[in-house]
Structure 1
């Protein structure tokens, strides 16, 4: 199961567009891309995991923490529905969805197969030092020309994850803005496919 978590003001309809690119390499995977539970007042028809009132670390940490229970409940329901376990689950996020993928995926009591984060950041890194269960492998991909979430956020997340003992890889997409380029797509697909093979 590949759970795709969209960014602020976007929707599951946008994220599910990744699935056709990955299906040939993950033919047995179920792709799910739920809408975030809150309508986004700033972005018309879009959704948000939480309302973005600022980028201060404490504000982002509180927002991710408030949104996590809904994602955890969705994961629990779907794993049960399809007779799967965390070893069969990859979390893939974009922007605010990356914050959620990292927040939820690194805190599950049983290790998920993989986490892929595009154009996002890590919240509550200090809190993770108190979690001693096994950490899943993480891939971070970010564009150098991202005007929304600066690439420094990826470097900081990578440094924090390594310090916490999380196996992490990263890729810098040169000249790429707040989006996913074809190279990033391929890297994410390969990373998830490799993780599922390892967990079999």
Structure 2
């Protein structure tokens, strides 16, 4: 099984009590999202932010052109579902190892993903044996949502953020995911950003910080 590595940042104060896993989009690598960490550290000061490089080389370009969580060469629902299924145990093992090294519970993990990373965060997080503290999915959605009813293992709080003008992954992907998750009893919030394309703007960053802060606060006793 591949061993994942990538940049990390924090915690801002004290030893780590939480882990925020940042999952990048296709063709990028872990360096793409780690810059979110300093801004979010005010909301989650006791979290380590870790942005692993996806396990596969990007197969739509030459060597050195980034990584992928699964191939997009065949975008039929069955192939996408198979790719997500293959990525889940790799990510699960890497997060378990990271939590063990930090000495924190598996329940103190928040998953944040952008684009293909958002798809991976949702697919993995909702099937995780130990519920994550939160899932934040930016510009993604869940391609394998059709099979989720039979395989959902937990219902963590989910935040979906999407640009209304996204021409890469249409906002309808998050809207469809939102409806499906609500039907399954998953507590979900959404933010659809006007005039935003395939990216993350300040409104989405601010909403994400608040969501992380609230989600980690729910883990505290009393």
TM-score, length basis structure 2: 0.86
* Residues 1:28 and 2:54 aligned together: no
Match of 1:177 among 184, 191, 197: 197
Match of 2:154 among 122, 134, 143: 134
Structure 1, unaligned stretches of length 5 or more?
A: none
Aligned to 1:199: 219
Deviation at 1:128, TM superposition (A): 2.2
- Are 1:86 and 1:113, in contact at CA under 8 Å, matched by a contact in 2? no
Equivalent-residue separation in structure 2 for 1:77 and 1:127 (angstroms): 28
TM-score, length basis structure 1: 0.95
- Are 1:142 and 1:154, in contact at CA under 8 Å, matched by a contact in 2? yes
Match of 1:11 among 22, 29, 34: 29
Deviation at 1:86, TM superposition (A): 2.7
Aligned to 1:40: 58
- Are 1:87 and 1:196, in contact at CA under 8 Å, matched by a contact in 2? no
Q: What's the CA shift string for 1:3-39, capped at 9, x where partnerless?
A: 0000000110011111121112211110000000111
Deviation at 1:132, TM superposition (A): 6.0
Deviation at 1:55, TM superposition (A): 3.1
Equivalent-residue separation in structure 2 for 1:149 and 1:102 (angstroms): 15
Deviation at 1:80, TM superposition (A): 1.2
Deviation at 1:64, TM superposition (A): 0.7
Query: Map of 1:105-184 to 2, 5 A cutoff?
Result: 105-131=125-151, 133-184=153-204
Aligned to 2:12: none
Change (3 A) 1:157 1:132: closer
Structure 2, unaligned stretches of length 5 or more?
A: 1-18
Equivalent-residue separation in structure 2 for 1:108 and 1:66 (angstroms): 14
Change (3 A) 1:131 1:62: closer
Equivalent-residue separation in structure 2 for 1:192 and 1:133 (angstroms): 21
- Are 2:43 and 2:212, in contact at CA under 8 Å, matched by a contact in 1? no
Q: Does 110-119 or 77-86 show the bigger shift? A: 77-86
Equivalent-residue separation in structure 2 for 1:128 and 1:83 (angstroms): 31
